[in-house]
A and B are shown apart, each in its own frame.
Chain A
Amino acid sequence: MSEMIKVNIDGIEVEVESGATVLSACEKAGVKVPVLCHHPDLNVAGVCRVCMVEIEGMGNLQASCAYPVTQPLTVKTKTNRVRKARRMNLDLVLAEHYGDCYTCPRNGNCELRTLADEYGVDKFKFPHVDKPRYAKDTKSFSIIRDQDKCIHCKRCIRTCIDMQKVNVYETANKGHDVEIQVALNKSIADVVCINCGQCVNRCPTGALWTQDVSDQVWEDIENPDLFVIMQTAPSPRAAIGEEFGYPPGTRVTKKLNAAMRRAGFDKVLDTNFAADLTIMEEGTELLERLHKVIVKKDKSVKIPMFTSCSPGWVKFIEHYYPDHLDHLSTCKSPQQMYGAVIKTYYAEKIGIDPSKIRTVALMPCSAKKYECNRPEMNASGYRDVDYGLTTREMAMMLKEAGLHLADMPTEEFDPVLGEGSGAGMIFGATGGVMEAAIRTVYELVTGRPVPFERLNITPVRGMEAIKEASLKLEKVKKEYKWLEGVELKIAVAHGTANAKILMDKLVDGTLDYHFIEVMACPGGCLGGGGQPIPTTPEIRKARANAIYQEDEEIEIRKSHENPLIQKLYKEFLGKPGSHKSHELLHTHYTKRGQYFVKD
């Protein structure tokens, strides 16, 4: 550990590690300093100049977010000089920020508006823009952009370039003409955007948002000819409470079920069921691949196999590593698998013409909107999933309908294709898919449960950038003799920057794993681009805890033991990896340009 240094903040003494910022010292002292460009997940920018403080011995005010503590400091955060400068810089930002707060999606949850309130802004000090200067970019299925609300904090740039290594945004021009542009001023839909929505989660204003489909969903709910089926993923359930004032990590699954039924959804299903299905298909695919590689020495089959549940990650690899798509599992994501099963097997079960069914997926994710619109996702003859709804949109729909979670009773999911196992539940956290898959694959191969206490494969849990583990397969079942003694090597990465580290090793030929889970978002789905704002490492940890708790409480914790899954295979699909499974539950990928989407 590095040296501890004393900092005096407004008379409060704290000690911070050498190199820590003055802002973090202020936090430690319990002194709130306003910020606009600073974000706990991102590199320092020091551009908004709102977090200014007085540091004894320095001529000018200093940006606390950028000033490192390397010697004892005395800091003042509340002097007139400080407050005036903060207020003035806020006035300058406001002068160029166009838009009516009450027509903004961030109304009530806007960092700029909050600061304007806290600093008592009662008039525009400087001439204020009163006409829009930009056309809104609404072409993408996932991300929409309203540049008029941009305050040049560069959080989106730092998110996209530093955190996700995607490179959609850039700073263009200079002086007052500076703009945060999508590469070469194109639409987000036409560049390498992977739709992860991490920029949306970190934008302090309403300049970035996700495509809102709630109006279409309402229309369909009200249409008497249509049967609207909701499927909900675990991550929104662990987070939507935040939109209703609950602390992060509050589990509201059963209240949410009730609220969605009251909103008019005809059925409320659990995506965890489809997650179990994914494990069956993906686990089988992994064993098939290993068999082909180890036994048949088939060079055309690629190992390691990467998971394909995260549509942001899928688009990332399609753009940046188009020559390595063979490494991606061909399994559709749980959302899409569920859609395909609902419009075939389930439609038959409930006796409704699939053309009359609309499937809506409540997801933590902005990329799911793009995914459900991929042209190949209609194996049943109908769109697998009609709408991807973010956690935020769902919360808005419920509020609009006057359905507050606190007022709701608790209700179960609808039966038949109802619940999933705990293994499906933990898909929401980074490492969850891997853990679920290993619980099943290990048991399939050895006939014994994974050798971890309470089935918790702890090495793949937690928020480390890249986690790895290995598991020796011993005393295997007869049919898996060829795996005897094999050390199954696995890795888990969350955030595409970490995925890139693995992919670059793959390109170099130095990546030595059998199976790798990648989620595009930090923390996995629970940190998805459709989740409540704000997002911080602490909030994501709280959501992960909620997810792991729910797993612990579910009786069935292995996908292959889910009786409904067994039933589905028996009655409809045959066995994992069958022809029918491939038709409905598997997909293919597209090589995309590294810079722009090909027209």
Chain B
Amino acid sequence: MVKAKEKRIITGKFTPGSGIKAALAGKPEEVVQEVIDSGLRGKGGAGFPAGLKWRFAANEKSDMKTIICNADEGEPGTFKDKYLLDNHPMKVLEGMAIAGYAIGADKGIIYLRGEYAYMLPSLEKNIEDIKKNVFSKLKVGKKKFEFDIKVRLGAGAYVCGEEFALIESLNGNRGEPRNKPPFPIQKGYLEKPTLVNNVETFATVSHIIEKGALWFGKFGTKSSKGTKLFSISGDVKYPGVYEFELGVKLRDVLELVGAENTKSVQVGGFSGINVTESSFDKTLAHGDLPAGGSIIVFNKDRDMLKVLKNILEFFEEESCGQCTPCREGAYQLLKGIKMIEKGEKSIRYYKDLCDLCATMKDSAKCGLGLSIPSPFLSITNNFKDEILYR
């Protein structure tokens, strides 16, 4: 299914054990430095420099730290973590162990999306295998290397992909984002320092530590190093998971996947932005188009108002419902669009909705609420005539 364009990292060959062995050959702080030097950004969507997060986590003093692999892949149009866990689970597990060694954690948890429950038996077997065949044979100085990994299942809430909601869910509470600070690296799972990274981030780390930051830095752009998996769906001939070097032009991607008569593309999932022809020459990289991993293509037959309605229905249902701008904001945006569809509200009301978006972007409690305005504003901006004057 993967059609890598020339260069592969994440979906490339990997000798099990090579990453963690390379890590244990150095000091933990050297591993952290290597990740910092690589310029790797978190692959979950926000794109925060992974090495920096690791350093913060490493600097925390605590009797217990936890590595969490965020496998709650819930962004609509995203299925690349599923691919990784199905096909390259060992890289992910090894990446977690490397992180554990780097920041001083001896436990890891994979928070697995509820719908991926079918993976549980194979994943648990893989964990047994890596512990028996790889970890148990390793030493840190004179001590045996130990790293335990458990799998926990989510129950279907989109918001549990947000790191604090995920942690709350693991803590046995309602899965809701918390106020930050303190951040998970300070007070996370069981109120102890916790490092949360995406599945793909851990898989990438295994390669970086195996081959070095210098090698990794050869891929990608100045501010977005390496490659990235993209889940591509919608009106294309060849939907699927692709690995591209960061900095790839959207137009090249569309061509490769067989997109024709393309009207617009939703980049970065529902919470990303909608772009049209005029932006197709932009690149998928930090600072340009969001490289969140999901690309949904709409061709000329699609009604963009229906697309927007679909997106808002999703958010209206998947907001955790605790903060006002997200819970009520998503609801009012959806309601507003429905009223505009029926001709019950004028263009002036659309301006009120844009004001609402400004407040949501400025005052929602977590990334979910903060990003709902992105699809709303970009789609209505791109298709003003189609949506507002129908």
Contacts and interface: CB of A to CB of B under 8 A. Distances in A.
Contact of B181 (A70, A175, A178): A70
A108 interface: no
A205 to B, nearest CB: 14
A174 B321 contact: yes
**Size class of the contact patch on chain A:** 35 or more
Name the residue among A48, A85, A88, A177 with the largest chain B CB count within 10 angstroms: A88
Contact of B363 (A45, A89, A152): A89
B365 A152 contact: no
**Size class of the contact patch on chain B:** 35 or more
Contacts, number: 113
A84 B355 contact: yes
Contacts of B329: 92
A95 B319 CA distance: 18
B363 A52 contact: yes
Contacts of A60: 361-363, 370
Contacts of B336: 126
A174 B365 contact: no
Nearest to B336: A126
Contact of B359 (A85, A154, A173, A177): A85
B359 A95 contact: no
A70 B182 CA distance: 10
Contacts of B324: 47-50, 89, 92-93, 152
Contacts of A44: 179
B359 A63 contact: no
Interface string B299-335: 0000000000000000111111111110111111001
Given A47-B324, A84-B355, A89-B324, A176 B363 contact: no
B338 to A, nearest CB: 10
B36 interface: no
B179 A177 contact: no
A245 interface: no
B105 interface: no
Nearest to B313: A175
B356 A88 contact: yes
A174 B363 contact: no
Given A49-B364, A70-B181, A92-B329, A176 B359 contact: no
A63 B330 contact: no
A231 B74 CA distance: 61
A46 interface: yes
A171 B168 CA distance: 14
B259 interface: no
B363 A95 contact: no
B260 interface: no
A174 B328 contact: no
Given A49-B323, A88-B355, A175-B321, A66 B362 contact: no
Interface string B89-100: 000000000000
Nearest to A173: B321
B211 to A, nearest CB: 35
Contacts of A70: 181
A189 to B, nearest CB: 25
Contacts of B365: 46-47, 49, 63
Contact of B159 (A47, A88, A174): A174
Contacts of B355: 84, 88
B157 interface: yes
B115 interface: no
A96 interface: yes
Interface string A153-188: 010000000000000000101111110000000000
A321 interface: no
Contacts of B157: 174
Interface in A237-286: none
Nearest to A176: B331
Contacts of A45: 322
Contacts of B328: 92-93, 95-96, 126, 176
Contact of B362 (A46, A61, A127, A176): A61
A125 B329 CA distance: 12
Interface in A20-46: 44-46
B330 A176 contact: yes
A97 B234 CA distance: 40
Interface string B333-369: 0011001000000000000100110110111110000
B21 to A, nearest CB: 39
B324 to A, nearest CB: 5
A81 interface: yes
Interface of B: 157, 159, 174, 176, 179, 181-182, 315-325, 327-332, 335-336, 339, 352, 355-356, 358-359, 361-365, 370
6 contacts: A46-B179, A48-B324, A60-B362, A68-B181, A70-B181, A85-B363
Given A67-B179, A89-B359, A152-B324, 11 more contacts: A44-B179, A47-B322, A49-B324, A50-B324, A60-B363, A61-B363, A63-B179, A88-B363, A126-B336, A171-B321, A177-B317
